Amino acid sequence: MVLIKKNIDRGEYGVSRWPVFYANNPADIIRSLVATTRISDIRKQFMNPESSSLDAQPGIEDGAYLLDGVIRTAEGKTSKLLRDQMKIFAKNRFMFAFFDDQTNLIDAATGYAHWVDGVLTETPIANQDGTVEGLSFEIAMKSSANGFTQIVRDMPAVNGGTYDLDEVWNTLSNAQTAFDGLWQLQSRHVEGALCSDFNEMKLIGGGHFIFFQRFDSEGETIKHFGFGALQVEKSGMVIETAMTSTLDSYSGKNHLLNITLIDTDHMTQTFMLNGAEVVQSYVRI
C-alpha cells in the first residue's frame, strides 16, 4: 500500500496543520473498518456513552508497557529487532513511540483503541508526520504473565509493500492519575521562542507518559518524541522521569511540571526550559 501525502490546512482540532495521508489501494481501504468515516465521526462514536466500544471488555488492562522484543516479517524474510519502545493504553486510546534504527527516523502514532469481544482494532489519527485518516489495524493480542503479546499484519511499508510484526510486551505499571488520557496541544507560549507551527500529542496512563511533537525552526521541520515515568507529588506538582527521547539533554533526568486540569477535556502544562517559562494548553481527544 502506498501512502499519498496531501497538504491541507486542518482545523478540526484547533491548531493542527499537519499533512494528511490517504491509502490509495482500494483493497486496503475495504479492510479498514473506518475507511469511509471521518475522524470527527469516529470521535463522536467513542465519546458516545451508548457506544458498543465503551461496553466491550478490553483484552488487557490500561497501563504502560515496554517492548521486550519484536520479529519483523517482510517478503518472507524475518528479522529480530531490539528497540527501546513504549506503548500506553488509556481510556480507549493508544500511543507508541520509538526511534527506528533501520530508517534512522522517529516512528510514533496515536489513536483509538476499539475492543470488541477481546479483539483490538487500532485506528490511528496522528503520527510523527501529521494527521492520519483511512487506516485501521486489527490486532491479535494475548495476555501473558509479564504483559501481553500482539501480532500485527499488513503494516504499510515505506517502499509500498507490507510487513508483519510479532511483539512481546512487559507491563511497567497499571497505575492511574487524574491526567490519564490522550491530549492534543492547542497553544504554546514561551518568551523568545525560536520555533513556529508547534504540534504535539501526549498520552498519559499507567503512571507513564509518551509524547511526539513537530515544529519548524530556521526553515527546517524538526520532529521529536519522548517517554518515561510520571509521578504526581502531594504538592500537586508532577515529576516526569525521562527514559528515552530524541531531545538533547532530556533522557535520564527528572523534569518538574505544573499540570492543571481546567475541566474534564482541557489541561495546562507549565515548566521551565532554558530559563524561560513554557505554558502549553491541551484538549482531550
DSSP string across 138-205 = EEEEEE-SSEEEEEEEEEEPTTS-EEEEEEEEEEEE----TT-EEEEEEEEEETT---EEEEEEEEEE
> Is residue 34 scored above 90 in pLDDT?
no
Query: Given pLDDT bands bounded at 50, 70 and 90, which one contains residue 35?
Result: very low
The yes/no answer on whether domain 181-284 falls in CATH 3.40.50.1260 is no
Q: What is the dihedral of CA 29, 34, 37, 43, to 10 degrees?
A: -150
Q: What share of the chain has pLDDT > 90, as a percent?
A: 63
Q: What is the pLDDT of residue 199?
A: 97
Residue 95 burial (C-beta neighbours within 10 Å; 0-12, 13-18, 19+):
buried
Range of lowest pLDDT (52-66, 79-93, 125-139): 52-66
* 180 half-sphere exposure, CB direction, 13 A CA radius: 19
With 50 as the cut, is the pLDDT of residue 256 above it?
yes
Residue 209: pLDDT above 50? Answer: yes
With 90 as the cut, is the pLDDT of residue 41 above it? no
Q: Would the pLDDT of 169 be above 60?
A: yes
Task: Judge contact between 113 and 95, C-beta under 8 A.
Answer: no
pLDDT average, residue stretch 50-66:
72
Confidence check: pLDDT of 20 > 70: no
Q: pTM of the full predicted structure?
A: 0.78
Domain ranges in the chain?
3-172, 181-284
Res 127 pLDDT > 80:
yes
Q: Is there a common fold for 3-172 and 181-284?
A: yes
193 band by pLDDT with thresholds 50, 70 and 90: confident
pLDDT at 56: 60
Q: Quote the CA–CA distance of 137 and 35 in Å, as a whole number.
A: 11
In the three-class reduction of DSSP (H, G, I as helix; E, B as strand; rest coil), residue 283 is classed as: strand
Give the residue carrying C-alpha cell 489501494: 25
- In CATH, what number does 3-172 get? 2.40.128
**Torsion on CA atoms 153, 157, 163, 166, rounded to nearest 10:** -70
Kindly report the average pLDDT of the chain as a whole number: 82
More confident residue, 45 or 118: 118
Residue 46: all three cell numbers together: 467513542
Q: Residue 11: is its pLDDT beyond 70?
A: no
User: What local confidence, expressed as pLDDT, does residue 101 receive?
Assistant: 85
Rounded-to-integer distance, Cα 6 and Cα 20, Å: 6
Whether the CB-CB separation of 282 and 202 falls below 8 Å is answered with yes
Half-sphere exposure for 9 (CA within 13 Å, toward CB)? 0
Residue 39 has pLDDT above 50, yes or no: no
Overall average pLDDT of the 240-256 stretch: 96
Rounded Cα gap, residues 56 and 48, in angstroms:
13
Return the higher-pLDDT residue of 12 and 234: 234
